[in-house]
Amino acid sequence: MQNTLEIQNLSREDKLRMIETIWEDLLKEGEELVSPNWHQEALQETEHRIELGEEKILDWHTAKKELRERFE
């Protein structure tokens, strides 16, 4: 197994190729991935907050920018 330092030294193309290989291998296992109950509950809570106007929907780039500003 490659360690983190080895992975960091890979080119972007090699990293993407590795991700694709891992994803294809996971799909071959044939097991259905089941979301945990808390995930459904979290989604329902978010939908409820959106309906009440307590939550705003952001595009990915804006959300990333806001998170970086909040945690940097």
Domain boundaries, the chain: 1-33, 35-72
Mean pLDDT across 2-13: 85
Mean pLDDT across 7-26: 91
The CA distance from 42 to 56, in Å, is: 15
What mean pLDDT value characterizes the chain?
89
Q: Whole-prediction pTM value?
A: 0.46
| Token pair recorded at residue 28 | 């071959």
- CA 41 vs CA 3, 34, 61: distances in Å: 36, 14, 26
pLDDT at 2: 62
What would the pLDDT profile of 17-48 be if each residue is shown by its tens digit? Answer: 999 999 898 888 767 778 899 999 999 999 99
DSSP state of 55: S
